[in-house]
Amino acid sequence: MQTHELVAHAAHSPLGIRRVEAKILSMTDAWMRVRWRIDGSEKLVIPAFAGKGRQDDLWQTTCFELFIMPRDGTPGYSEFNLSPSERWAAYDFDDYREGMRQRDFAREPDCSIRSGQSITIFDAALPRVQLPGPPCSIGLAAVLEEEGGVKSYWALSHHKEKPDFHDPACFNACLARTRAA
């Protein structure tokens, strides 16, 4: 599957991060696997392990986000927040930032993070049965906090003065129907 280079919002420059990529690794009947790669992550703040569980406001520190909008002509979409702490959140929206409600998840996502000298890899596996099905438009994003509270906001694209991962114009990657592996 295609690797997508994310761009930092111009109003929030990173301290040392040079590049962020995101990729849907695989889609099976059971799981959707997603990976984010951060280059220049020496000063990245990684939230402490908290164990699996739902938690709001994960975006206030390092957090990885996936947005899925089915291509059925309706404006609704789903948001998934995934933290290196293993906490997660899932929401459904009826329209742009309207009608927000928690998305039910019977089986929690699996998350892992590995850091090397200057590269960090964050992997997430989300249960397929609990995700909107393809074909979909997707948005891949990350809030990355570095030492000193410096936050940068990374997405496929930015179209507003302030970072806004919910902007449908940012959902510019495609998730097509594929045969299950």
> pLDDT at position 139, please?
96
116-163 per-position pLDDT tens digit: 989 999 999 999 988 887 789 999 999 999 999 999 999 999 999 999
Tokens encoding 163 = 């970072």
Residue range of the domain that includes 102: 3-175
Question: Which residues of the chain have a pLDDT value below 70?
Answer: 177-181
In the chain, the DSSP E strands lie at 3-8, 19-27, 31-39, 53-54, 63-70, 77-82, 87-93, 101-102, 110-115, 119-127, 136-146, 150-155, 173-175
- Cβ neighbours of 100 (radius 10 Å): 12
91 found inside a domain: yes
Give domain status of residue 105, yes or no.
yes
- What domain count does the chain have? 1
Coil, strand or helix: which one is 72?
A: coil
Round the average pLDDT of the chain to a whole number and report it. Answer: 93
Note whether residue 181 is domain-resident: no
Contact (CB, 8 A) for 6 and 35: no
The answer to whether residue 180 is domain-embedded is no
Contact 46, 113 (CB under 8 A): yes
- Apex CA 131: angle with CA 52 and CA 102, to 5°? 60
> Whole-model pTM?
0.93
Domain assignment of residue 33, yes or no: yes
CATH, residue 108:
2.60.40.1190
Helix (H, G, I), strand (E, B) or coil at 148: helix
- Provide the token pair at 105: 């998840």
DSSP string, 35-62: EEEEES-TTB--PPP--SEE-S-GGGSS
